[in-house]
A and B are shown apart, each in its own frame.
Chain A
Amino acid sequence: MSKYIKKNLDADGVDRRGFLKCMAWAGTGAFCLVHGGVLKSYALGDVLQHQAGHLKGDLSFVQISDSHIGFNKAANPDVTATLRTAISRINALPTPPSFVLHTGDLTQLSKPEEFDTLAESLKSLKTEHIFYVPGEHDVVDDNGRLFRERFAQGTQGDGWYSFDQKGVHFIGLVNVLNLKAGGLGNLGSQQLEWLEKDVSRLKSSTPIVVFAHIPLWAVYPKWGWGTEDSEQALSYLKRFGSVTVLNGHIHQTMQKVEGNITFHTACSTAFPQPHPGEADSPGPMKVPAEKLNELLGITDVNFVRGKHTLAIVDSNLQG
Chain B
Amino acid sequence: MRNLRTTEIVTKQAFRLMAAAVALSFSFALTAGALGRPSTAAQQEKTTTNEVTIDNFMFAPKELTIVAGTEVSWINKDDEAHTVVSVGSKLFKSKALDTGDKFSFTFHDPGTYEYLCSIHAQMTGKIIVK
A: residues with CB less than 8 A from B are 73-75, 108-110, 136-137, 140-141, 179-184, 222-224, 280-284
Contact = CB atoms under 8 A, between A and B. Distances in A.
B81 to A, nearest CB: 6
B81 A137 contact: yes
Given A108-B81, A141-B95, A281 B57 contact: yes
A224 B78 CA distance: 17
Contacts of B80: 283-284
A105 B59 CA distance: 23
A179 B118 contact: yes
B79 A224 contact: no
Contact of B79 (A136, A137, A283): A283
Contacts, number: 60
A184 B121 CA distance: 7
6 contacts: A73-B99, A136-B119, A141-B96, A282-B57, A283-B79, A284-B80
Given A74-B79, A181-B114, A224 B122 contact: yes
Nearest to A273: B80
Interface in B76-118: 78-81, 83, 87, 95-96, 98-99, 114, 116, 118
Contact of B56 (A75, A179, A180, A281): A281
Interface residues of B, number: 22
A179 B128 CA distance: 23
Contact of A181 (B57, B78, B79, B87): B87
Query: Which of B56, B120, B124 has its CB near the most chain A CB atoms (within 10 A)?
Result: B120
Q: Per DSSP, are chain B's interface residues mostly helix, strand or loop, or mixed?
A: loop
B95 to A, nearest CB: 6
Nearest to A176: B119
Interface in B37-81: 56-58, 78-81
A276 B100 CA distance: 27
Given A136-B118, A181-B124, A281-B56, A109 B79 contact: no
Contacts of A75: 79
Contact of B83 (A73, A74, A140, A224): A140
Q: Which A-B residue pairs are the 8 nearest by beta carbons?
A: A183-B122, A281-B57, A179-B121, A73-B79, A140-B96, A183-B121, A109-B96, A224-B122
B79 A182 contact: no
Contacts of A108: 81, 98
Contact of B122 (A110, A137, A141, A182): A182
Given A141-B96, A181-B116, A280 B56 contact: yes
A32 B56 CA distance: 35
B78 to A, nearest CB: 6
Contact of A283 (B78, B116, B118): B78
A215 to B, nearest CB: 14
Given A137-B119, A181-B87, A280-B56, A110 B96 contact: yes
A26 to B, nearest CB: 23
Contacts of A180: 121
Contacts of B99: 73
Given A73-B99, A109-B81, A136-B118, 18 more contacts: A73-B79, A74-B79, A108-B81, A109-B98, A137-B81, A137-B119, A180-B121, A181-B87, A182-B121, A183-B120, A183-B122, A183-B123, A224-B121, A280-B57, A282-B57, A283-B57, A283-B78, A283-B79
